[in-house]
Amino acid sequence: MKITLGAITFFVIMIFFYVIVNGFLQSLSGTPVWGSITHPQYILLSEKIPVSVLYKDIISPVQMHIKTIYRNKAGKYYGEKHYKDLIVILRGSGKKTIVLPAIRSDSIAQVRIRVVLFLERASAGDGSRNLEVFGKPIRSRWISVSGTPLTMDGRSPGVWDIISNGYQTGLWKTNRGDYSFSGWMITFFYICSFVVLLFVAGKSSGVAIRDKVFWHSICAIILFLSINKQLDIQMLFTDIARTAAKEYQVYAIRKPFQIRIISFFASMGISFFIPLMILLRRCHKSIFLATGGVFCLFTFLCLRLVSHHKVEAVFSHSVGIFTYFDFLELLGIFLVSSSAVWYFRTLVTSRSQLQAE
């Protein structure tokens, strides 16, 4: 019963944080005052494009004009199209769904949807009427356009083909490992941390079984990460995922999938972290500190695994010889190592007091 309740709690917390993280990543641009636009995360050729415009607080009737702006595969401007036959009148608050015609040209790689509201006003003197822009126009982000999600020869690629091609054509085969000075320094810190943890795990005889299991588990995790620092297994997984995306012709529209994966790992990590804190609430405080360090290392590993360009652009900034990625990794190592030293000193003190008594 307790296991079932714990599993339900874990998944509820995970779903909650998934919605929060995913919504934050999806909402990178500000929402205009009068409304917002909802559109597909990517567009397939020869399929119609459903667009929904959510509007509010429009006092006078206005005309809604939609146009699409195109980019080619080189990222250059490729023209635009005004949909005069799709003009509708909006007033008050509500939601309007428009279906745009399908994109036919395979030269178009990206499309942006722009919505403008025009308020009709009478001109002075001659009785004619003119249009005035109402509020701030809204526009979508650049939406990737993709062909059919199959390989060029019309067959679905095999799993072994994807793994083999990912290894042969990816970066891991020739560029794995961080052989920079900072990379070797972090590897050295990993090894030092492992030695400290191994020593503490060996001295944890006579303590609670969960403490013993905890420190042996952390020791194994740090050993794996110290080896992986120069092995870069996450790079191999990224190469395989990139190859699969190219084989299925969804590489150009990979951003939505990356956001979902980041959201999944983030929600899973937080959902695991919170129940673990509750489970270890009666343990020594150093164990909480070590769990925080592992969480930092888990976050670092997930960010490198997903390889999201905007996230990497932020964390790749350098401060001296270290990047923000390095600082996140070093923070995790420091928290784990210092917590082990704290736990060992507490253990020695308590044993000395027992002997004195």
Q: What is the pLDDT of residues 73-85, one digit of tens each?
A: 888 888 999 988 8
Mean pLDDT on 274-300 = 79
| pLDDT at 34 (0 to 100) | 81
Find which of 30-34, 92-96, 237-241 is predicted with most confidence, using mean pLDDT.
92-96
- In the predicted structure, residue 124 carries a pLDDT above the cut 60: no
State the pLDDT at residue 249. Answer: 67
pLDDT at residue 154 in the model = 47
Burial category of 160 from C-beta neighbours within 10 Å (exposed 0-12, middle 13-18, buried 19 and up): exposed
Q: Which residues lie closer than 8 Å to 191 by C-beta, 6 or more apart? A: 226
Residue 218: both structure tokens together: 């952390």
Average pLDDT over residues 55-60: 84
Q: Which amino acid is at 172?
A: W
Q: Do the beta carbons of residue 292 and residue 331 sit within 8 Å?
A: no
Q: What is the DSSP string of 274-335?
A: HHHHHHTTTS-HHHHHHHHHHHHHHHHHHHHHHT-HHHHHHHT-EETTEEHHHHHHHHHHHH
User: Any idea how long the chain is?
Assistant: 357
Backbone angles phi, psi at 171, to 5 degrees: -80, -25
Report d(CA 319, CA 310) in Å as an integer.
18
Are 249 and 151 in contact by the 8 Å Cβ rule? The answer is: yes
What would the pLDDT profile of 229-273 be if each residue is shown by its tens digit? 888 887 888 888 888 877 776 676 677 777 777 778 777 777 777
| Domain 46-146 CATH assignment equals 2.40.50 | no
Instruction: Please tell me the distance from the alpha carbon of residue 64 to that of residue 86, in angstroms, as a whole number.
Output: 8
pLDDT number for residue 292? 84
| Pair of tokens at residue 46 | 């020869």
**CB atoms < 10 A from the CB of 27, how many?**
10
The answer to whether residue 18 scores a pLDDT higher than 50 is: yes
d(CA 96, CA 53): 5
Q: Looking at 69-73, 114-118, 145-149, 337-341, which range is the least confident one?
A: 145-149
149 with 250: CB under 8 angstroms?
yes
Average pLDDT over residues 98-116: 88
Three-class SS of 177-194: CCCCHHHHHHHHHHHHHH
Residues 6+ positions from 38 with CB-CB distance below 8 Å: 51, 52, 53, 54
**Is residue 37's pLDDT more than 60?**
yes
Torsion angle in degrees (nearest 10) through CA of 255, 259, 264, 266: 140
CA atoms of 259 and 266, how far apart (whole Å): 10
The pLDDT, as a whole number, for residue 191 is: 92
Q: Which residue has the tokens 């900072």?
A: 182
Residue listed under structure tokens 């006579």: 206
Question: What is the percent of the chain where pLDDT is above 90?
Answer: 8
Distance CA 141, CA 144 (A): 9
Q: What confidence tier does 153 reach under pLDDT thresholds 50, 70, 90? A: very low
Q: What is the DSSP letter of 148?
A: -
- The letter for the amino acid at 119 is L
Q: Using the predicted structure, report yes or no on whether residue 341 has a pLDDT greater than 70.
A: yes
Enumerate the domain spans of the chain.
46-146, 159-356
Considering the chain, what is the average pLDDT of its residues? 79
Write out pLDDT tens, residues 171-222. 787 878 778 888 889 899 999 999 988 888 887 766 777 778 888 888 898 9
What span, in angstroms and rounded, lies between the C-alpha atoms of 344 and 161? 50
Q: For position 310, what pLDDT does the model report?
A: 64
